[in-house]
A = this chain, B = another copy of it.
Amino acid sequence: QQGFRIQSADSANVARFRGTLHFDGRYFPDDVTPATADTWILRRVRPTFEGTLNKIYDFRFTPDFAGGRTIILDAFLAARFKPWATVTAGKFKVPVGLERLVSANDLRFIERGFPTSLVPNRDLGVQIGSDIIGGVVNYSIGYFNGVSDGSSSDANTPNPDVENDTKGDWAARVFFQPFLNSDNFALRGLGFGIAGTYVNSTGSTTSSLLPAYRTPGQQTFFSYRATTAASATAPAVNGTIADGERLRWTPQAYYALGSFAVLGEYVKVSQEVSRLTPTAGLRRATLDNSAWQLQFAWFATGEDQSFRGFTSQSVFDPSQGTWGAIELVARYHELDIDDDAFVGDADSFANLATSASKASAWGVGVNWYLTQNYKWSLDYDVTRFDGGAATGDRPDEKALFTRFAVGF
């Protein structure tokens, strides 16, 4: 069921009501995560109202009420002027990261992997793009306000959902599925592409324009040195700020063969930063942070894998004796901070005693699709860190997550 619809007699005007509700339980059987992080949490609460007017004009409204706050997640209008040119304006996903572009309902793991931490999420802007050549090529190019790595414009500081600085970001992506319409069963499910963003802008001590990075358990493990105000016992200290070009690029690929699928992506962010340090004056550097992942999924119940959803063969209904679909998933992913970030002791851009220089994680999980729209998931992720603690390495994070999900 892809939403509930109301339409005019001639089908020129259609409204669809859809929803995503992800309710998670989190448990950390480790020695590093605070006990208050063991919690029930509304991870996504997204009723959606979308539709089409006059056949080629689209719109979408998707608020998100998750996590104790309310934002507008998607709010855009689009026009499919030509088969090869759709113009979209508003707030929507910036076309960069592969797993980021997977719909939240089609994710194989409860939380996305490290590469997603380096690419934009939602932002405000205007984009042109489309599937062309029968879907063999998909392209997008857009101009956006700009967001930090892994972030949405609703998290922009000091003001959400508007421009932070004086420059917009360019983003572009091209993705190929060369055998999409071929008879070659082994190659039909192959797709690969590349995407990137570019901006040249400068932050400030009140709005650094720099990101923090989080673990698979959604705990912050890396952040740049922050600006601190003067206190009775210590002078003010300037933190690190974005200062110059930021270039992200990410090669990416997906391959499905029968009930088996693999997703791989690599992301590198080159960010020029500066810091007015306590002892070394103004320091500048270009820091290259990178991440990659490999993700595997297999339907134990035999359904076909696909980049966009799948078709379940049955519904779990005890009164009918049917069981739905079972999927097993595994992944390995890493995020590596540029070592130059930690050089210079108190003058460094980041503090190795509190921020790890590398995180490596493996995870396994099971997804039980009770219906096409209801899913119960259980994931276990273990993350190892280099640095990040006063005594050396931050202890391993062990995260056991479960999710009750509805998406339609």
A307 within 8 A of B: no
From the candidates B51, B67, B90, name the one contacting A161 in the complex (CB within 8 A): B67
Interface hit among A37-45, A105-113, A380-388: A37-45
**Per-residue B-contact encoding for A370-403, CB less than 8 Å = 1, 0 else:** 1101100000000000000000000000000000
Interface of A with B (CB < 8 Å)?
A: 1, 4-6, 8, 13, 15, 17, 19, 21, 23, 25, 35-42, 45, 47, 49, 51, 53-54, 56-57, 59, 61, 63, 65-72, 75-77, 79, 81-82, 89-91, 124-126, 144-145, 154, 156, 159-166, 168, 315, 317-319, 370-371, 373-374, 404-406, 408
Decide if B162 touches A67 in the complex (CB within 8 Å).
yes
Least Cβ distance of A124 to chain B in Å?
A: 4
Decide if B124 touches A77 in the complex (CB within 8 Å).
no
Chain B residues with Cβ below 8 Å from A319 are: 82
Instruction: List, sorted by A's number, 26 A–B pairs whose CB atoms are closer than 8 Å.
Output: A17-B49, A19-B59, A19-B61, A21-B90, A35-B166, A38-B166, A39-B145, A39-B163, A40-B124, A40-B162, A42-B72, A42-B91, A45-B61, A53-B406, A54-B374, A57-B370, A57-B406, A59-B406, A63-B63, A63-B65, A65-B71, A65-B72, A67-B162, A70-B72, A81-B318, A82-B318
Query: How many copies of this chain?
Result: 3
State A11–B161 Cα separation when bound (angstroms): 41
Given that A36-B164, A41-B161, A57-B370 are known contacts, is A49 also in contact with B47, CB under 8 Å in the complex?
yes
From the candidates B35, B61, B124, B166, name the one contacting A21 in the complex (CB within 8 A): B61
State A67–B71 Cα separation when bound (angstroms): 10
Chain B residues with Cβ below 8 Å from A5 are: 6
State A373–B75 Cα separation when bound (angstroms): 16
From the candidates B49, B71, B79, B374, name the one contacting A370 in the complex (CB within 8 A): B79
Decide if A371 touches B53 in the complex (CB within 8 Å).
yes
Q: A39-B145, A40-B145, A57-B371 are in contact. List 7 more A-B contacts (CB 8 A).
A: A17-B49, A19-B61, A38-B163, A53-B374, A57-B370, A68-B159, A77-B406
Decide if B404 touches A89 in the complex (CB within 8 Å).
yes
Decide if B21 touches A59 in the complex (CB within 8 Å).
yes
State A71–B8 Cα separation when bound (angstroms): 31
Decide if A161 touches B42 in the complex (CB within 8 Å).
yes
Least Cβ distance of A24 to chain B in Å?
A: 10
Least Cβ distance of A52 to chain B in Å?
A: 10
Least Cβ distance of A371 to chain B in Å?
A: 5
Decide if B23 touches A89 in the complex (CB within 8 Å).
yes
Nearest chain-B residue to A7 (Cβ)?
A: B4
From the candidates B4, B13, B77, B374, name the one contacting A23 in the complex (CB within 8 A): B77
Decide if B17 touches A1 in the complex (CB within 8 Å).
no
State A125–B91 Cα separation when bound (angstroms): 32
From A40, A145, A318, residue with most partner B Cβ within 10 Å: A40
